Amino acid sequence: MNSGSDFKLSLKKDVALIEPSGGGVMILQTATHRVTLKPVTASLRVILTTLATEATTTEQLEQLAQAADGQPGRAGLHKLLPQLFTRGLLCRSVWLDDQPLATAAPLTAPNGFQTGEVAPDRLYILSRFVYGHTVTGQLALESPRSQTQVILHHPLAAAMVAILAQPQRSDELVVKMPNLPVNVIKLLLNLLLNVNMLTEFQENGVTREDENLALAQWEFHDLLFHSRSRRGRHAHPGGNTMRFKGQIEPLPVLKPDMSAQVIPLYQPNLDSIIAADAPFTQVLEARRSIRAYGDPPLTVEQLGEFLYRSARVRSIVQTELGALSSRPYPSGGAMYELELYLAVDRCVGLDRGLYHYQPQAHQLHKLAAKENDVETLLQDAARSMIQPVRPQVLVIMAARFQRVAWKYETLAYAMILKNVGVLQQTMNLMATAMGLAACALGNGDSDLFARAAGTDYYAETSVGELALGSVPDSVPDWAAMDVDKSES
Ligand SMILES: Cc1cc2nc3c(=O)[nH]c(=O)nc-3n(C[C@H](O)[C@H](O)[C@H](O)COP(=O)(O)O)c2cc1C
């Protein structure tokens, strides 16, 4: 019986232990890594085979190593264990008698091997970055601050974690968790502490983790999104994995027409534009966000030219994986998931309302949006700019999420947001080149948009905006630069 005087150790479940015949090496193989150990001593063999088959304490491993190779075997064990930890191959678990309560399983090679212990007179609280979700039928704790996942095997461990939402001393937990022996409680606390899931709650009411001013300014969802959409802190496959290939049809390159009310748009002659256009650096240097508008408003011809030059489909190519398009702005994987919608307030030659842009036919399709919803979309944009007037045209960028998620794993949403920035900048520069007023926005209401356009929030909704209009005779300073006051 072990009622928790020490962690139990075991190799991660996905580590295969291979000893090639006559090779003189032992190999630890995972889906992505291979660690080769030599020379193969009797103690190395018994340590690794034990770790591969059962959870065992360091003390038990010491006895096995000593029995196999004497003192050198024991010394070898203490060199081997940190190596296995730092390569992300070793799990630590806390047991109550013959039942596992919680296991810390590395997701990737952790940054160092932490062996800290909670102090009995200090308060500890669960890190505000910890979250729980189910993984193959078990409750797992993860955190964007940790490269380790903690599996909670037993309701007693889950109960203790729930209590740790409030600051606790270990002796208080002993009273609150009468079914757990004091040493098991300490081990559970140490397990969480060593994987950055527990933090000290200080007398001044600030946690140790929030003493770090960089960390204090991260919101939970932002740090999780950052750590999960970039490589390094998780073991999920990332990039162009096409995990739905053969199961779900990819979305077509173009969204089917959304209405029969079609407004063909003006197509400028690109050769004439190239001959007359301002030089690139002049446009770049003149660009600034303009949040005030002129009278008369911009015209439907200008709108046609603006969309044609910045966002039309130039060509479509067929590939093995479906059709891809080419447009004036770049887009991750050429998936071009962004759909453009226009909430029009005032535009010469175009009625007020909500429109979808068909980028191949270069047409607008008028949608049956409620007047109230169109008004709120425009008012929201004005509020984002701290301006009394609505943009003449609000360009709303919505993403057909599955177009990207079908192909890319782990980074799909991050890529979509990057594509928004790319298109906003293309449109900002185009507005400057055409003498129009533009300001990128990023704080729109995606629920409101989905309702107005009649889209399914999970399939397609807004991810960014750009306010557009004609330029006023003189641009007041407050309309050009409002860095302090603007919402985002
Ligand atoms: C992604 C993004 C979101 C923005 N959101 C807003 C906004 O909500 N309100 C606003 O007034 N300006 C917004 N802006 C404009 C910035 O405030 C502006 O680009 C910045 O102050 C620099 O000024 P400049 O564009 O005139 O050079 C946004 C710009 C970007 C790129």
Residue 482's pLDDT is 45
334 secondary structure, DSSP code: G
Confidence of residue 317 (pLDDT cuts 50, 70, 90): very high
Least confident of 130-144, 232-246, 336-350: 232-246
> Who contacts 487 (Cβ-Cβ below 8 Å, separation ≥6)?
383, 384, 385, 386, 443
CA neighbor of 58 nearest in space, from 66, 37, 149: 66
Interval between CA 440 and ligand 1 midpoint (Å): 5
* Alpha carbon nearest to ligand 1 atom 27, residue: 288
Which two three-digit tokens encode residue 199? 């933090």
- Which atom of ligand 1 is closest in space to residue 485's alpha carbon? 11
- Which atom of ligand 1 is closest in space to residue 483's alpha carbon? 21
- Which atom of ligand 1 is closest in space to residue 442's alpha carbon? 3
Interval between CA 465 and ligand 1 midpoint (Å): 11
- Which atom of ligand 1 is closest in space to residue 420's alpha carbon? 1
Residue 4's pLDDT is 53
Mean pLDDT, range 328-349, rounded to an integer: 98
Residue 379's pLDDT is 98
pTM of the model: 0.91
Residue 484's pLDDT is 45
* Alpha carbon nearest to ligand 1 atom 17, residue: 483
Interval between CA 362 and ligand 1 midpoint (Å): 28
pLDDT, tens digit (0-9, with 9 covering 90-100), for 41-54: 999 999 999 999 99
pLDDT, tens digit (0-9, with 9 covering 90-100), for 95-121: 999 999 999 999 988 777 778 899 999
Residue 114's pLDDT is 77
| Ligand 1 binding residues, C-beta < 6 A | 288-289, 291, 384-385, 421, 424, 439-443, 480-483, 486-488
Which two three-digit tokens encode residue 408? 């890319």
- Which atom of ligand 1 is closest in space to residue 421's alpha carbon? 1
Interval between CA 383 and ligand 1 midpoint (Å): 13
**Fold category of 96-229 in CATH:** Outer Surface Protein A; domain 3 (3.90.930)
Residue 130's pLDDT is 98
**Fold category of 262-480 in CATH:** NADH Oxidase (3.40.109)
- What rounded mean pLDDT belongs to the chain? 94
- Which atom of ligand 1 is closest in space to residue 480's alpha carbon? 26
262-480 matches 8-87 in CATH topology: no
Residue 479's pLDDT is 64
**% of the chain residues with pLDDT over 70:** 96
Angstrom CA distances, 278 to 275, 390, 437, 439, 471, stand at 9, 29, 16, 20, 17
pLDDT, tens digit (0-9, with 9 covering 90-100), for 203-249: 999 999 999 999 999 999 999 999 999 998 888 888 999 999 999 99
Interval between CA 441 and ligand 1 midpoint (Å): 6
**Fold category of 8-87 in CATH:** Outer Surface Protein A; domain 3 (3.90.930)
Residue 474's pLDDT is 85
Mean pLDDT, range 246-270, rounded to an integer: 97
pLDDT, tens digit (0-9, with 9 covering 90-100), for 413-450: 999 999 999 999 999 999 999 999 999 999 999 999 99
> Which of 289, 423, 432, 466 has the most ligand 1 atoms within 8 A of CB, as the residue to mutate?
289
3-class state of residue 463 by DSSP? strand
Domain boundaries, the chain: 8-87, 96-229, 262-480
* Alpha carbon nearest to ligand 1 atom 30, residue: 440
